[in-house]
Amino acid sequence: MGRDYGSRDHRSHGQGQLRLNARIQASQVRLVDSDGTMLGIKHLSEALAMARERKLDLIEIAPQANPPVCKILDYSKFKYEQEKKVRESRKHQKAGLLKEIQLRPNIGAHDLDFKLKHAIEFITNHDKVRITIVFRGREMQHQDIGAKLLEAITEKLIAIAVPEAPPQRERNRMMLTLVPKH
């Protein structure tokens, strides 16, 4: 019956967060200067004094090292740089979406040009483009027309994109994925 159901903070304590200045718990630290030069192993009080002297913060960079690695930096500037790196990496993750363009094997020349204009737009936005040719009824017996159409499309877009794999057939469809050249 002696269980304590009091309110506890179940969030991770400092998980992923850096300790700085007085929150560093080690007695000795491996000290790195703001420009990256190694200053050696120092007592925590000595490292804190050096940081205060320069009007900067002492940040624990690698707490699992023995002794922990600490760097003398401006914390707000360091935090801004870290957030900037995260934003930059998120920006690059978006690249590579898959866009699909569907055609019929007996598409008109103007209609094909219109669809290719969209494909070029997608590829210049760094997206993959899947071109799908859908066969219906008797068109299934003339899949060679679809293969020739995919070859022609590849020829027209070869300057900006390359095929990811050879054309694939699946039931009543023939597909080709084009990847932007970098």
Q: Which SS3 state, helix, strand or coil, does residue 164 take?
A: coil
Range of the domain at 161: 98-180
- Do residues 102 and 170 both lie within one domain? yes
Pick the closest to residue 152 from 99, 113, 114 (CA basis): 113
- Do residues 110 and 69 both lie within one domain? no
pLDDT at residue 17 in the model: 76
- Do residues 82 and 44 both lie within one domain? yes
For a pLDDT cut of 90, what percent of the chain falls above it?
Answer: 60
- Do residues 118 and 176 both lie within one domain? yes
CB 117 within 8 A of CB 110: no
Tally Cβ neighbours within 10 Å of residue 61. 16
- Do residues 107 and 82 both lie within one domain? no
Q: What string of pLDDT tens digits covers the 182 residues of the chain?
A: 444 444 444 444 444 678 888 888 889 999 999 888 999 999 999 999 999 999 999 999 988 989 999 999 998 998 999 899 988 887 776 656 889 999 999 999 999 999 999 999 999 988 899 999 999 999 889 889 999 999 999 999 999 999 999 999 999 999 999 999 87
- For residue 93, tell me if it sits in a domain: no
- Do residues 79 and 105 both lie within one domain? no
- Do residues 61 and 114 both lie within one domain? no
- For residue 110, tell me if it sits in a domain: yes
pTM beyond cutoff 0.85: no
CATH number assigned to the domain comprising residue 35: 3.10.20.80
| Backbone angles phi and psi of 46, in degrees to 5 | -65, -40
CATH number assigned to the domain comprising residue 147: 3.30.110.10
Beta bridge partners of 132: 102, 175
Pick the closest to residue 140 from 166, 169, 165 (CA basis): 169
Domain boundary pick from 63, 87, 111 = 87
